[in-house]
Amino acid sequence: GRILQDRAAVIVASTDMTHMETRQVASGQDRLLAERILALDPEGLIRERARRNITMCGYGPTAAMLFAAKALGATRAEIFRYGDSGEAHAMREVVGYLSAGVYR
């Protein structure tokens, strides 16, 4: 955030959410992490992922984006869409996907 302080920039973080759990388990776990994103709470995101052993592979970049966005004055986040791989093809275990924006 400090490096970007006086620059126009967009920060992008990319990750899948829960990997290879039932749709019910994945959506529940992902909802907990989405709440931390909406709360602009990178520490909570890291803590919740570790505490529940959620398989979100890019939690580090996502937390880094939240830390930087907050340093730059972010005040809100919005979930654009949540879905999972079972939407495209019926699967017993799915991978969750979430898109969100963070704004100042």
- Read off the pTM: 0.90
The string over 46-60, giving b where at least 16 C-beta atoms fall within 10 Å of a residue's C-beta and e elsewhere, is: bebbeeeebbbeebe
Q: Which pLDDT score is estimated for 76?
A: 94
| Tokens matching residue 71 | 């340093």
How far is Cα 73 from Cα 20, in angstroms, rounded to an integer?
A: 35
Question: pLDDT at residue 33 above 90?
Answer: yes
pLDDT digits (tens, 9 = 90+) for 38-93: 999 999 999 999 999 999 999 999 999 999 999 999 999 999 999 999 998 888 99
Higher pLDDT, 94 or 91: 94
